[in-house]
């Protein structure tokens, strides 16, 4: 009878239930528990299994460049790490409110590490995230526009609660590239969140986007509801040993309504 039940559970893809049931059959301590409690333990195991599988899918789907987590950041470094700011961002409430985040600083200061750690936390909270370099994103958008798959690709991007655009404005945007970014920014405005990881100060973004009117439109959609993390150090962390990629030197603050006052 038990063997048949196990086969039925496996046919229903309830392997967590099977594992929990076998444990109860092999361990006499479960025999004293009432049926309802034993059943609840079996169901809990299946739910936990499914939650773990979903998390693994979200992490895999995110394509994070680094296996970073909030927990493995070093908050004891002598680099003015603002633990309260980072933990506040790790709550991901800003993602649920569809706000943006800018992570700024010179190369080698851990910008990508922080972005990936926040995305990892978002995945663990049940949100969907995607990491992509700006050049790859623009290439994908242009290709999708050319081969007729733009609507499908745009819809795919809009399903992600958090989009990480790394190496943002490493190279100036052409007018065509700027138009594609404008469409993306317009779709995500007040609907989804984006992390922009850049070496370039926000005050220089406008001049790096071709066509002033397009630049105005893009920045109008990404700046006003954004916070910043600015990383500063005398040298790249890659040149140092045993120092984690987690320097925060300035509390994330809402941006001013006008970029030119930045």
Q: What is the pLDDT of residues 54-90, one digit of tens each?
A: 999 999 999 999 999 999 876 665 455 577 888 999 9
Run of H or E including 193: strand 193-198
* Lowest mean pLDDT segment, chosen from 37-51, 109-123, 216-230, 240-254: 240-254
Q: Which of 8-22, 61-75, 114-128 has the highest mean pLDDT?
A: 114-128
Q: Cα(205)–Cα(259) distance, rounded to whole angstroms?
A: 9
Task: Give the pLDDT band of residue 234 (cuts 50, 70, 90).
Answer: low
Cα–chain-centroid distance for residue 195? 8
44-48 long-range CB contacts below 8 Å, 24 or more apart?
A: 44/20, 45/16, 45/17, 45/19, 45/20, 46/14, 46/15, 46/16, 46/17, 46/20, 47/16, 48/16
Residue 184, by phi and psi: left (phi above 0), alpha (psi -120 to 50) or beta? alpha
Which of 144, 129, 126, 158 lies closest to 65, judged by CA? 129
**Of residues 202 and 262, which shows the higher confidence score?**
202
Alpha-carbon distance of 52 to 1, in angstroms, equals 30
Instruction: Give the C-alpha separation, 58 to 248, whole Å.
Output: 27
Lookup: tokens for 102: 């800018």
Residue 246 is encoded by which pair of tokens? Answer: 């987690």
- For the entire predicted model, the pTM comes to 0.79
Mean pLDDT of 16-35: 82
Residue 118's nearest CA partner among 78, 154, 91, 150 is 91
* 3 state DSSP class of 140: helix
- pLDDT-derived band at 160 (thresholds 50, 70, 90) equals very high
In this prediction, residue 243 carries a pLDDT of 42
Confidence at residue 236, expressed as pLDDT on a 0 to 100 scale = 56
Across 210-233, average pLDDT: 92
Domain ranges of the chain: 2-60, 63-261
SS3 percent helix, strand, coil of the chain, rounded to 5, is 55, 10, 35
Least reliable range by pLDDT among 80-89, 149-158, 239-248: 239-248
DSSP summary character for residue 126: T
Name the DSSP letter for residue 172.
P
Pick the CATH number of 63-261 from 3.30.2010.10, 3.90.1310.10, 3.40.50.300, 3.40.50.10470: 3.40.50.300
Residue written as token pair 């709550």: 91
pLDDT-wise least confident of 176-180, 198-202, 221-225, 237-241? 237-241
Look at residues 119, 116, 123, 127 and name the one whose alpha carbon lies nearest to residue 246. Answer: 116
Q: Is the pLDDT of residue 233 over 70?
A: no
Residues 6+ apart with CB under 8 A from 243: 74, 77, 237
Q: How far apart are the first and last CA of the chain?
A: 72
Maximum distance among all Cα pairs of the chain, rounded to whole angstroms: 75
Alpha-carbon distance of 262 to 251, in angstroms, equals 16
The Cα–Cα gap between 9 and 200 comes to 56
């Amino acid at each position: 009878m038990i063997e048949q039940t196990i086969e039925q559970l496996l046919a229903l893809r309830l392997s967590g239930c099977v594992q929990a049931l076998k444990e109860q059959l092999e361990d006499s301590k479960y025999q004293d528990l009432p049926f309802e409690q034993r059943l609840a333990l079996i169901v809990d195991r299946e739910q936990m299994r499914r939650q773990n599988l979903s998390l693994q899918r979200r992490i895999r789907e995110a394509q994070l460049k680094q296996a970073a987590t909030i927990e493995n950041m070093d908050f004891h470094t002598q680099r003015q790490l603002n633990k309260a700011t980072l933990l506040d961002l790790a709550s991901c409430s800003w993602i649920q409110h569809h706000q943006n985040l800018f992570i700024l600083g010179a190369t080698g200061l851990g910008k990508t590490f922080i972005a990936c750690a926040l995305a990892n936390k978002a995945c663990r909270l049940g949100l969907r995230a995607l990491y992509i370099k700006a050049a790859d994103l623009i290439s994908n958008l242009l290709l999708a526009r050319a081969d007729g798959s733009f609507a499908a690709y745009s819809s795919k991007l809009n399903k992600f609660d958090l989009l990480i655009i790394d190496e943002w404005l490493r190279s100036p945007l052409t007018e065509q590239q700027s138009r594609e970014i404008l469409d993306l920014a317009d779709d995500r405005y007040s609907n989804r969140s984006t992390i922009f990881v850049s070496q370039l100060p926000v005050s220089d973004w406008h001049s790096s986007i071709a066509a002033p009117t397009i630049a105005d439109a893009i920045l109008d959609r990404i700046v006003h509801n954004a916070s910043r993390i600015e990383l500063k150090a005398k040298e790249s962390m890659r040149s140092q040993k045993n120092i984690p990629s987690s320097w925060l030197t300035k509390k994330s603050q809402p941006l001013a309504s006008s970029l030119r006052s930045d």
